[in-house]
Amino acid sequence: MAKRKEKLSIVIPCYNEEEVLPALYKELKKVAKEMSMLTFEFIFINDGSQDKTLKIIKTFAKKDKRVRFISFSRNFGKEAAMYAGLENSLGDYVTIIDADLQDSPSMIEEMYTSIKNEGYDCVALYTKNHKDYSLLRKFFTKCWYILIGKISSIKQVPGARDFRLMTRRMVDAILEMKEYNRYSKGLFSFVGFNTKWINVETNKRMAGKSKFNFFKLFKYALEGILAFSTAPLMFAAFIGLLFCLIAFIAIIVIIAKTLIFGDPATGWPSLACIIIFTSGVQLFFFGVMGMYLSKVYLEVKRRPLYIVKETEKDQKGVEYEKK
């Protein structure tokens, strides 16, 4: 009996990507043609797009059985889209790639060869220079990586892309982590396995705009910290202790001054400032605790990460492989 060809699943999260999808699909087909030793499935995740993304994906799926899609009932975010893709993939290897062609799909062959011949479980890409991103975004990203490197035990590679190719074993390990507040870059690192990092030059986004504005990126950065570090809580405890110590020393100084010089009570304005300052610090750390608590709250509710409205199986007249 002929040996079954191994399968590679390509997961593509898409949110309003109508402008780039035709070019991406063309590139993916080229990769599949060149890597004839494998069979392919292209899993497009339509993350609640409001443009023609779904329509375009459907036209691909009609003509090409390798094309599968999962269309969400609304926008659930890229993390949910990536999870849905991994969860529904059937391949022996799975890769995740953004739709905008900032990463070149032609890298997939090299990534696969590294896994096959060099024994890696995962090949991931990072870049030292994001051509597309503003100086401000690059600056904050750099600061964030320095910070997370110091406060988290999880190794984070600066400039890491989400573009990576993994073995089924690694994908299953990631799927085992069903947490609601997902920060995949951390989870990829958390599961361990042997990862080869390749430095690449990224391209400019082919068309359309980045789907991450400053507020979304800030939330994402915060997600990473809250998911992989408890340092802010430790810091709160440390500051609390420090303030107690300062207050204790101040009390001793005041008592001594009063006993020696018989000083009347003075300094009300400074006292007011101290009260405002300390209550500000307290509120800030209440906020920090609140953020962790809100994450726990969201976890215990066990809401689904995404809700599917439609998949390729809802199309008439096409038979697909079952999981």
| 162 scored as a contact of Mg ion (CB under 5 A) | no
Q: How far is the CB of 305 from ligand UDP (least distance, A)?
A: 13
Structure tokens given for 89 = 């993939």
# chain residues binding Mg ion, by CB under 5 A: 3
CB nearer to Mg ion: pick between 58 and 211: 211
Q: Which residues bind ligand UDP (CB under 6 A)?
A: 13-15, 17, 47, 75, 77-78, 81, 98-100, 102, 210-212
Q: How far is the CB of 134 from ligand UDP (least distance, A)?
A: 10
What is the per-residue DSSP string for 11-71? EEEESS-TTTHHHHHHHHHHHHHH-TTEEEEEEEEE-S-SSSHHHHHHHHHHH-TTEEEEE
CB nearer to ligand UDP: pick between 199 and 258: 199
| Burial status of residue 206 (CB atoms within 10 A of its CB: 0-12, 13-18, 19 or more) | middle
Q: How far is the CB of 124 from ligand UDP (least distance, A)?
A: 16
CB nearer to Mg ion: pick between 58 and 78: 78
Q: ∠ CA 144-150-155 to the nearest 5 degrees?
A: 85
Q: Return the residue nearest ligand UDP (CB atom).
A: 210
13 binds, among Mg ion, ligand UDP, none (CB under 5 to 8 A by kind): ligand UDP
The site map against Mg ion for 59-78 (x = CB under 5 A) is --------------------
Name which position in 100, 121, 223, 312 contacts Mg ion (CB under 5 A).
100
Closest CA to 278 of 235, 247, 252: 247
Report yes or no: 66 and 29 within 8 Å, Cβ to Cβ: no
Rounded to an integer, what distance in angstroms lies between the CA atom of residue 166 and that of residue 120? 9
CB nearer to ligand UDP: pick between 98 and 223: 98
81 binds, among ligand UDP, Mg ion, none (CB under 5 to 8 A by kind): ligand UDP
CB nearer to ligand UDP: pick between 12 and 174: 12
DSSP 8-state code for residue 72: E
Rounded to an integer, what distance in angstroms lies between the CA atom of residue 230 and that of residue 207? 39
Kindly give the pairing relationship between strand 122-126 and strand 308-311: unpaired
Contact residues for Mg ion (CB under 5 A)?
98, 100, 102
